[in-house]
Structure 1
Amino acid sequence: MAEILAKIADIEAEMARTQKNKATMGHLGLLKAKIAKLKRELITPASSGGKPGEGFEVTKTGDARVGLIGFPSVGKSTLMSILTGTESEAADYEFTTLTCIPGTIHYRGAKIQMLDLPGIIEGAKDGKGRGKQVIAVARSCNLILIVLDAAKPAHHKRLIETELEGFGIRLNKQPPKIAFERKDKGGGVFFSTAVQATHLDQETASIICKEYRIASCSIILREDATADELIDVIEGNRVYIPCLYVVNKVDAVTMEELELYDRLPHYVPICGRLEWNLDGLMEEIWDELKLVRVYTKPKGQIPDFKEPVILKGHRDSQHTVEAFCNRLHKAIMHNFKYAIVWGTSVKFNPQKCGKDHVLHDQDVVQIVKKAG
């Protein structure tokens, strides 16, 4: 591991010495590809037959998973205990939490699993502390809450982002619009752009592919993507997760200091100890998870508003009538005829809809099956 870290440091030093211009674009792209490959070795070391980190194998339950991440002693355990009722040991000294502690929040008919992860330290991505296990669990979350102490330096935010990015987690970003396809036959690197490209060209893309030993492939840019984004697509192991920056202990700072945090996007100020703005935090969590509640209505009966069907995902294709039917039972679509929908997703109430109709939050649906 020390050898890999030394190689990464050498390459980063060379990148810092290299001027950024069109002539050096290909060389910088090559160095970035080398770093990405070395970091992959850090993340997925060869198996040595040892036991995984105790306390980190948590079964995924509920409709969504939210992870609390932060440096030690920022108030994660206190926040977890208040929101879920789960006893997570809290104290005024660092590293109180040593394992991953799960809890469940029942909110607006949905079951949201919340994980209180041990405090990470700077250098976690390089194997320090138990950072690897912590961030590996974070990759499985639908939403990450980075908990910050309002009284501590604001650069802690960037330090945590760096650790997460080192493990292939991209916060509040969408996958790059790059169509990449490996090809078995020869032909070299086919590079095409549907937009004006200012960060990537044929030479840079070819150099990056050569470093990955890709002799033949097709690359089509549908946005002005960077070399880092092309490397992310080639690596294929990146996860794109929404994130909220939860600034805790706001009672300990002045209004002027708090206004500095107010400039951050995706920022939520709270005080866990005094239970300030926890309702606002839950509303932000709900909005970021993009959960859609759909109520069932059996024929001739009133809708069941007690147990909504929760549709997950950020794409419209995950909120369709077909997705709703599959959540109930996959066999329903075999005899599906149409759906009767009440709610904001239709122009008329009720309205007859097909399987591709996109449902909105709190719609009511009645499924009509084929005769016989």
Structure 2
Amino acid sequence: MTVNASPEYIAAEKEYLFARTNEEKIACLEKMISFVPGHKGAENLRANLRARIAKLKKIQEEKRKKKSGGSRGVKRSGDAQITIIGFTNIGRSSLLAALTNATPKIAEFEYTTLHPEIGTFEYEGCKIQMIELPALTGDLERDSENLSIARTSDLILILVISNEDIDRIFEELKRVKISTPRFVIANKSDIYAKATRADLFISVKTGQNIERLKKEIFERLNILRIYTKEPGKKPSERPLVLKKRANIKTLAKHIREDFVDRFDFALIWGPSAKFPGQKFGIDHELKDRDAVEIHLKK
């Protein structure tokens, strides 16, 4: 932040801090530039902001290039992305509707879902994007295209009704070389009891274990909710979401890259501190629900 920054600039910088996508970050940085003072002393700040925008746009372009060549790319949003896969008529669309705000087409006939269906749900302060992929067919070329989304997601929900389903889907994932963490869910457990190797048994129809499913999804994502704090103020209401084993350096870089070089110390309130406001260096490992106050060198 520049010296004598305007309230508008400070507000835009806070928006940037909680931006979840590169598009949102670019918009916030452009807004920050518009509020930078016009005098010569602010030239370095303007140059820094423009460099950050250029870097984000380069990342966007690289992602677009990776998605070319037939991949059915889905715009990532929220704090985590989960894909739902399985064979036809097994309840994938019903599960998506039960967990999220999505309203996919649900029917008794086979292969109702022709394109990825997207929904989101909030759990413990985190926004989780869920994508229902078209049913697996056993056709390697077709399934590979649909499963390309699962390759880059944070977790795959595998919906089954039998152990045979589990074996076939695991073999399919092996064929297309996808190693994304997986969570096997047996649906229709009120009718079937054949998927004895599933991690969790649910029934979308009766609501059995749906709330437990949300909890277990969250736990398997291995994420941390970190609240930032300014001196003399309460922690932020919305957390920043990082991967487990992240340290203060990870957080500082997430907020702003030059914070790593300018870092002096951090004060922490929460599980990783022995007492409120304990002082730590940049390599300290964070824990879920820590509130962190970063102090920079003057």
TM-score by length of 1: 0.59
Out of 289, 303, 307, the position equivalent to 2:238 is 307
User: How does 1:179-198 map onto structure 2 within 5 Å?
Assistant: none
Q: Per-residue CA shift, 1:213-269, capped at 9, x if unaligned? A: xxxxxxxxxxxxxxxxxxxxxxxxxxxx2111111111113xxx36x62xx3x6111
SS of alignment partner, residue 251 of structure 2: helix
Q: Per-residue CA shift, 1:173-217, capped at 9, x if unaligned? A: xxxxxxxxxxxxxxxxxxxxxxxxxxxxxxxxxxxxxxxxxxxxx
Corresponding residue of 1:272 = 204
Counterpart code for 1:284: E
Corresponding residue of 2:164 = 155
Corresponding residue of 1:65 = 81
CA distance in 2, matches of 1:329, 1:246: 39
CA distance in 1, matches of 2:205, 2:247: 41
Counterpart code for 1:335: R
Corresponding residue of 2:181 = 242
SS of alignment partner, residue 358 of structure 1: coil
Out of 284, 287, 291, the position equivalent to 1:364 is 291
Q: Per-residue CA shift, 1:76-132, capped at 9, x if unaligned? A: 10110121111111111110000011211211111111100000022x33x2xx212
SS of alignment partner, residue 58 of structure 1: coil
Task: Report sequence identity in percent.
Answer: 32
Corresponding residue of 1:295 = 227
Gaps of 5+ in 2: 1-67
Counterpart code for 1:97: T
Q: Which structure's relative contact order is higher, taking Cα pairs within 8 Å and 6+ residues apart? A: 1
Does 1:88 find its partner at 2:104? yes
Out of 247, 256, 269, the position equivalent to 1:342 is 269
SS of alignment partner, residue 258 of structure 2: helix
SS of alignment partner, residue 155 of structure 1: helix
Corresponding residue of 2:154 = 142
CA distance in 2, matches of 1:251, 1:274: 8
CA distance in 2, matches of 1:57, 1:95: 20
CA distance in 1, matches of 2:213, 2:254: 28
CA distance in 2, matches of 1:103, 1:327: 26
CA distance in 2, matches of 1:51, 1:285: 31
